[in-house]
Amino acid sequence: MDGRFVDWDDAKIHVLTHALHYATAVFEGIRCYSTDRGPAVFRLKDHVNRLFNSAKIYTMKIPYAMEELCKAVKDTIKVNKIKECYIRPIVYYAYGEMGLNPLKNPVSVAIAVWPWGSYLGEEGLKKGVRCKISSWVRVDTRILPPLAKSSANYLNSVLAKLEAINCGYDEAILLNMNGYVAEGPGENIFIVKDEVLITPPRSSGVLYGFTMDSVMELARGFSIQVEEREIIRDEVLLADEAFFTGTAAELTPIREVDGRIIGSGSIGPITEKLQEKFFQVVRGKDPKYVDWLDFV
C-alpha cells in the first residue's frame, strides 16, 4: 500500500476515503500462473498500461511509473511466497476532503494477491455455465467510459450479476443501449457460428480484455476465422458455441442462454481447443507465446 508492504489484516483505509463514497477508483485484474520456470504473470505490462489509461480517462495522476508498478506486483507475489494467484492493483482517491471534486484528495495505490480459482467455478470451466440476458443495459460511452476499468462501471455489473443469480442463472449477458450484445458483468463474450469466431468490437461498449485479445490471437494460430462485429441477441441464442473470457473467468463455456441450449449443451470443439491452448500458454508450455509471461 503506497509503496510499503502491509500485513493483510492491517491493510485499512479511512471511512471517509473518497473512492468509498464516490467510486473514484480504477483497478486491474491480473493472474499469476505456476510454470516450470516458476511463477509467471500473464500479460503484466498490458494490464498495467491499461491501468494507466483508465487513470488518464479519469484525470488521475498515478504517483508511480509503470515499471515501478510492474516490479511491485512481482515483489508482492515474492513476499507472499505464492505460486499461483489473482492480482488486484487499485488506484483510488484517498481521504482528504469530502465532496464530488476529488482533486483535493491524494491518489493512493494498493496491490493485493491471493489464491483464487476460476471465477465461474471449475465445473463451469468443464461443462459451461447458464446465462440470462440482463434487463440492465451495459454502460454507454455517453454515461461512463467503458474502456476504463473503473469501480463505478462495476455497479452496473453487480446489478446484472444479482439479477442473474436471483433468476437461477450463473451469469448475465448485457446488451448495450442500441440492443447489441456487449459483454458479461466481468467478461468478454464470444460466439461461434459456422466455425467463425465472433466477438463484439470496442464500439459495442466493451472493456477491451487481454484474455479476449489472446484468444483471438490463438484462434488465428489455428487458422480459425475471427470477426469483431456487432452481435444481436438472436445470434447468441442460435450460436453453435459460446464462451466468456476474462482474467477471472479465464475461458469459460456457455451452455445455455435464457433457457435455450447452446449447440450440444456442452463445451464445443473450437471452445475446447482454445481453452486447452490458453492453459498451455499461461503455464509456459508453448514457447511461441512466452513473451506474454513475466516471470517472477
pLDDT in tens, the chain (296 residues): 999 999 999 999 999 999 999 999 999 999 999 999 999 999 999 999 999 999 999 999 999 999 999 999 999 999 999 999 999 999 999 999 999 999 999 999 999 999 998 888 889 999 999 999 999 999 999 999 999 999 999 999 999 999 999 999 999 999 999 999 999 999 999 999 999 999 999 999 999 999 999 999 999 999 999 999 999 999 999 999 999 999 999 999 999 999 999 999 999 999 999 999 999 999 999 999 999 999 99
Closest Cα partner for 198 from 238, 242, 233, 237?
242
- Active-site residue 81, yes or no? no
Distance CA 233, CA 228 (A): 15
**Separation between Cα atoms, residue 265 and residue 8, nearest integer Å:** 42
What is the Cα–Cα distance from 197 to 181, expressed in whole angstroms? 15
C-alpha cell, 233? 441477441
Rounded-to-integer distance, Cα 174 and Cα 190, Å: 13
Dist CA 152 CA 145 (whole Å): 10
Backbone angles phi, psi at 196, to 5 degrees: -105, 130
d(CA 157, CA 271): 24
Given 74, 132, 149, 277, which residue is catalytic? 149
Report the SS3 class of residue 219.
helix
Task: State the Cα angle at 56 between 48 and 20, rounded to 5°.
Answer: 85
Query: For the segment 34-67, what is each residue's pLDDT rounded down to a tens digit?
Result: 999 999 999 999 999 999 999 999 999 999 999 9
CA-based radius of gyration for the chain: 19
- Identify the burial level of 204 via C-beta atoms within 10 angstroms of its C-beta, where 0-12 means exposed, 13-18 middle and 19 or more buried: buried
Matching residue, cell 489473482: 86
Q: SS3 helix, strand, coil % of the chain, rounded to 5? A: 30, 25, 40
In whole angstroms, what is the distance from residue 209 CA to residue 3 CA? 27
In this structure, the dihedral spanned by the alpha carbons of residues 63, 65, 69 and 70, taken in order and rounded to 10 degrees, is 170
Closest CA to 107 of 60, 71, 145: 60
Instruction: Please state the pTM of the whole predicted model.
Output: 0.95
pLDDT tens readout for residues 115-142:
998 888 889 999 999 999 999 999 999 9
